Amino acid sequence: MELLSIIYCHWVRFPWSPQFTVPEYYGFAHNKVRSVRIKTADNVSIGAWHILPTEYHEQLHLREVGKVEDHVFDAALSDPNYDTVIYLHGNSMNRAAPWRVDLYKILGDKFHRLNVLTIDYRGFGDSEGVPSEQGLNLDAKATLDWLLQRNVSHTRISLIGHSLGTGVATSLAYEMTRAGLTPNALILKAAYSSLPNLIFEYRLLQYIPILGPLQAMPPVQNWILSKLMHTFDSLSRIEHVHCPVLILYGASDLEIPGHNSHQLFHRAAYGSESPVPFSPNWLESDDEIENSVIAGEATVYKRQGKSNVQLVRLNYADHNNVSSIVTATLSAKAQRRLSNQPFFQHLDFTSTDSDLSSTRKKTSHRKLSSARSSKVSSEASSIKTDDIPPPLPKIPRISTSARVSSESIENDARQSSRGTTQQQEQQQTNLVMLGGRQYFVMPGIYFCSPCDDDEADRLVILHFLLKYAFHGNFVAPFRNTLDPHLPTGMQRPQVLDIGCGPGTWILEMATEYPQTDFHGIDLRTMFPTTIKPSNAYFKQHNFFESLPYEDNTFDFVRIRLMFCNMTQAQWMQILKMATRVLKPEGYFEITDVENRIQRPGPLCETLLNQELAHAMRNYGIEFYMGHQISTLLMTQGFVNVRQQRVTMPLGWGGQMGEVHAQNFEGFFRSIHPSIKPTTTTSTKQVSQWQPAGMEHRKIVFSDAAIRLAMEECKKYQSHLNWFTCYGQKPSPADTPLSPRLDGPGSAVSLLATPMAHPTPSTPPNSLEEGTWETIKDFIDGYVD
């Protein structure tokens, strides 16, 4: 029994008092996850989460409605456009462990057409029973049957196992292959070859070798092995698995030695009757094994002629962060390339980019079939609306059309700015004082933040915070364009900052690059007009209507911190105008935050993630667009699109987290008063700080409530995801991508723009030539 307590650490209960039936408690979007119960063949009930594909969830706008029925979730499983992953976790805690929740979200961010089904084995989490090898295998088999009963084809099911789960996943893949139900792929993370091989090597808490000393006593060792009834013998099963196999391990894994993964790779590549025996130095000595080194980061191994089996050694990963090293750091180019490989050929990478060769590939949109469209409509119509909060009064909006006529583009270049005096007078007429703060008011313009000195100070601090987080003032590769040593006769480079605010970025860049001209444009006059570098220029102008510059003027155009101030239609128009003034092969860069607090506390989730986002949506502003920036650029024809994500803590993790939390608390407190009265009626106590008896009263968006919500961020170690994405305007010799519009006068939804599956350029079971040749192709995309 003591040995079983080491193998199955189901007695380690974390998180404490888990809320499995309320997935929103862990930062999931409303109606994104359902909690299900699965019955096994021996009548044991196990708990599971079904996480919807991001695309499906957004296309049906499920966040905005009441609780949906199970058949809406089942439709995403049976839809052939969506694949499914069964995730089988390690030997302790449960499916709500923070790093596992983070992994589910990463999978949703990376693969927009992917269902995730994650279970707790018997004895773990909210599942009944006591764990055993036979029991865990029955749990996995019941999970598969649950999917098959919902018309999920086995060819669209991939298995991911981590640590203990690698034995369960390999066993399930083996049984599926024997039954003629070969899965799409088998992915093993931090795997072991078998429990008899592992138990004398396993280190509890990474450093404590529980049974390691017994290796010096063979009689005792043999006696223990004779009593071991749980073997999880992946080594004897993996050679009979016919689907693509990917084995990942971290070089810093102190719990399961890496040679376990080497053994599994050897057996999967050669079989048990291999003429090449396994040895500790086998990988380096076997001439049939090819390896691709990603300098300083990873090594990828495959056997010649059997590329559907691969081993990846990650230099800096340990036992639990293999997934984040691989998934969260993939660049857009690596995503596109991986999508052509056997492990991911059915998983949709929505953030694709053009090849860096002279031949560029067009990216098309997948249009929903009529059958699919009718099904979406029928599912949406069946959603309950009882819990939908009453809509807020809406202010007048500009047209929601995302189509900009050619006449407006031509007129855009001909419009000039007004005189300085007239601008200042107009600025004063558009400013109102509310609650001691000054706000800019103009029909069709939605600046939710103030326009005063305090807001300018907040933006200056945030500028330097972002400069520190992203290691500089820009990410796009145009530094050579800013070279101060210009050849004789060469025009000075031109840079434009749309919505420049107090102009801090312009002032810094103009000082650092005196041979380049920097232009800032904003509707609000928060920028300096007298004391500034001679190569810094500021203009007050309504950039929502036009950009007063000639075609092909700028080498670089940027926009930052505007998601909370623009509707989707306004975004589309500004992108078109920015494309017009950008030179061919010039770069456009967007930096912004996804205002969805990750790992929130209950009050933070209710007040900031749900109520505030709902209030902004009533004004046509979508808070949760950060991870869609790359799609936004590609739909407008940009090529060589790259996106980076930086996770920044709120109130914890040192000085950066503290400053970040203070800055965003100031942002939330200063939001326009017409938005702040958003309220809802709570049916339960949403925070431990809420006084008793307040369960049924209204939650008011007050400064005190914001303060409590931000204190929750520190307690729950919450964070925000910041994104920077850049793209390049195609040269005239290239054919630019064309955005697809749904029809005349209709808006393109930036949150539900389906991208087509990349067309594989190689056979399904072979790798593209040079897939892993450089570090930039594998790990240059995301910084966590």
Whether the predicted pLDDT of 482 surpasses 70 = yes
Instruction: Determine which of 120-124, 178-182, 361-365, 515-519 has the lowest per-residue pLDDT on average.
Output: 361-365
Per-residue pLDDT reduced to its tens digit, 36-66: 999 999 999 999 999 999 999 988 889 888 8
Cα separations in angstroms, 782 against 290, 645, 647, 778: 27, 5, 9, 10
Question: What 8-state DSSP symbol labels residue 88?
Answer: E
Which of 103-107, 155-159, 293-297, 737-741 is the least confident region? 737-741
Handedness of CA 775, 318, 238, 123 (dihedral sign): negative
Residue 716: CB atoms within 10 Å:
22
Instruction: Choose among 26, 17, 49: nearest CA to 102.
Output: 26
pLDDT of residue 774: 30
Predicted structure pTM score: 0.47
Distance, CA of 130 to CA of 132 (rounded, Å): 7
Q: Per-residue pLDDT for 398 more than 50?
A: no
CATH 3.40.50.1820 location in the chain: 2-338
Dump pLDDT digits (tens) for 448-461. 888 888 888 889 89
Work out whether strand 494-498 and strand 554-560 pair parallel, antiparallel, or are unpaired.
Answer: parallel
- Digit-coded pLDDT (tens) for 530-543: 778 889 999 999 98
Residue 692 has pLDDT above 60, yes or no: no
Q: pLDDT tens digit string along 263-280? A: 999 999 999 888 888 888
Interatomic CA distance for residues 116 and 388, integer angstroms: 27
752-774 pLDDT, tens per residue? 233 333 333 333 333 333 332 33
Percentage, residues of the chain above pLDDT 90: 36
Q: DSSP secondary structure string, 203-240?
A: EETTTEESSGGGGG-HHHHHHHHHH------HHHHGGG
Over residues 629-648, the mean pLDDT reads 85
pLDDT at 216: 58
Where helices occur in 69-163 by DSSP H, the ranges are 70-78, 98-110, 133-148
Torsion of CA 701, 705, 709, 712, to 10 degrees: -160
β-strand pairing of 45-51 with 33-39: antiparallel
User: Is 472 in a helix, a strand, or coil?
Assistant: coil
Per the model's pLDDT, the better-predicted residue between 742 and 24 turns out to be 24
End-to-end CA distance of the chain: 40
Percent of the chain with pLDDT over 70: 68
- How far is the C-alpha of 139 from the C-alpha of 133, rounded, in Å? 10
Which contiguous run of DSSP H or E holds residue 333? helix 332-338
Q: Which pLDDT score, from 0 to 100, does residue 203 have?
A: 55
pLDDT in tens, 410-419: 344 334 333 4
Between vectors from CA 562 to CA 558 and to CA 568, what angle results, nearest 5°? 105
Helix 655-669 / helix 703-716 crossing angle, nearest 10 deg: 150
pLDDT range class, residue 324, cuts 50, 70, 90? low
- Of residues 633 and 648, more confidence is placed in 648
Which residues are within 8 A (CB) of 499 and not within 5 positions of it... i.e. 6 or more apart? 521, 522, 543, 559, 560, 561, 562, 565
Total Cβ atoms within 10 A of residue 578 = 22
Q: Pull the structure tokens for residue 304.
A: 């010649």
Structure tokens at 260: 């376990």
DSSP 8-state assignment for residue 628: G
For residue 661, give the H/E element and its range.
helix 655-669
**3-state DSSP assignment of residue 283:** helix
- Which residues face 294 on adjacent strands? 298
Q: Which has the closest alpha carbon to 671: 744, 619, 742?
A: 619
Q: What angle do CA 120, 125, 129 make, to 5 degrees?
A: 80
Report the C-alpha gap between 532 and 648 in whole angstroms: 31
The kind and range of the H/E element at 554 are strand 554-560
Identify the H or E element spanning 160. strand 157-162
Q: At what angle do helices 655-669 and 453-469 cross, to 10 degrees?
A: 150
Q: Of the CATH numbers 3.30.70.20, 3.60.15.10, 3.40.50.150, 1.10.3760.10, which one belongs to the domain with range 427-484+491-728? A: 3.40.50.150
Q: How confident is the model at residue 229 (pLDDT cuts 50, 70, 90)?
A: low
How many other CB atoms are found less than 10 A from the CB of residue 91? 21
pLDDT at 442 over 70: yes
**Span 130-145, pLDDT tens digits:** 999 999 999 999 999 9
Q: What is the dihedral of CA 602, 604, 605, 610, to 10 degrees?
A: 140
Residue 161: pLDDT above 70? Answer: yes
Instruction: Please give the residue that has the higher pLDDT: either 549 or 677.
Output: 549
Answer whether residue 678 shows pLDDT above 60.
no
Torsion of CA 424, 426, 429, 431, to 10 degrees: -60
CATH number assigned to the domain with residue range 2-338, chosen from the 4 options 3.20.20.70, 3.40.50.1820, 2.40.30.10, 3.40.190.10: 3.40.50.1820
Q: Where does 333-449 show beta strands of DSSP type E? A: 431-434, 437-440
Alpha carbon separation from 601 to 98, 151, 613 (Å, rounded): 13, 37, 16
Q: In whole numbers, what is the pLDDT of the chain averaged over residues?
A: 75
Paired with 398 in beta bridges are: none
The dihedral through the CA atoms of 347, 353, 355, 361 has a sign that is positive
Alpha carbon separation from 379 to 61, 68, 125, 536 (Å, rounded): 11, 9, 31, 54
Q: Mean pLDDT over residues 700-706, rounded?
A: 82
Residue 379 confidence (pLDDT): 38
What residues form DSSP beta bridges with 559? 498, 590
Please tell me the predicted confidence (pLDDT) of residue 224.
Answer: 59
Is the N-terminal amide bond of 15 cis, ω within 30° of 0? Answer: yes
**CA angle 163-168-174, nearest 5°?**
130
With a cut of 80, say whether residue 200 has pLDDT above it.
Answer: no
Distance CA 363, CA 640 (A): 12
**Spatial contact of 412 and 550, defined as CB atoms under 8 Å apart:** no
- Predicted pLDDT of residue 486: 62
> Residue 556 phi/psi, 5° resolution?
-150, 130
Ranges 198-212, 280-294, 466-480, 667-681: which has the least confidence? 198-212
Specify the DSSP class assigned to residue 481.
G
